[in-house]
Amino acid sequence: MKLSILSLIIAAYAAILSTLNYYAQRRDKQSRVTVTVKAGIMGIAPGVASDACIFLEANNPAHKAVVVTVQGFILPDGRDMFFPYPQSNVTFPFKLEPESQCMVWMDMKKLGRQLRSEGYGGVVKIVGFYNDAVGRRHKSKPYKIDIGVWGR
């Protein structure tokens, strides 16, 4: 009796481990892009910095390359705001290799004025995104931008 209960426990444990291993392998084979939105400045020349910019970065932590095609922001009302001619460290479409990243950026004041012209005011939450060549959309966490500060 004790032997059959022990056998059942071992079999259940093996089944759980096998299932977890299967999902981990499947996750590693799928393409994943993590998207982040950050604010900052860029160095233009020694001792010279840009105005404040908003950066939209895509990282590929998976073991499979992903072709990223279009990037932009999802506005609070659900509409998309694209970067038609992005300032970037790459040219799009771009093959994002495993363990690599790419980035686009825009002047914060330009973004704030654009959002104000679309009727937004106060603090607005936007979500950054990159689309890939097979139709998936990879999104960032919401990012808050104060239109009162940046929309002048």
pLDDT above 60: residue 29: no
The distance of Cα 146 from the centroid of its chain, to the nearest Å, equals: 21
Strands 100-107 and 53-60: antiparallel
Q: Report the alpha-carbon angle 84-72-147, nearest 5.
A: 105
Q: What's the pLDDT score for residue 86?
A: 83
Q: For the whole model, what pTM was predicted?
A: 0.78
Helix (H) or strand (E) holding 103: strand 100-107
Do 81 and 6 lie in one domain? The reply is no
Burial class (CB in 10 A: 0-12, 13-18, 19+), 79: exposed
Question: What per-residue confidence (pLDDT) applies to 75?
Answer: 96
**69 and 117 both lie in a single domain:** yes
Q: Provide the domain limits for residue 78.
A: 31-150
Reduced to 3 states (helix: H, G, I; strand: E, B; else coil), residue 42 is coil
The count of structural domains within the chain is 2
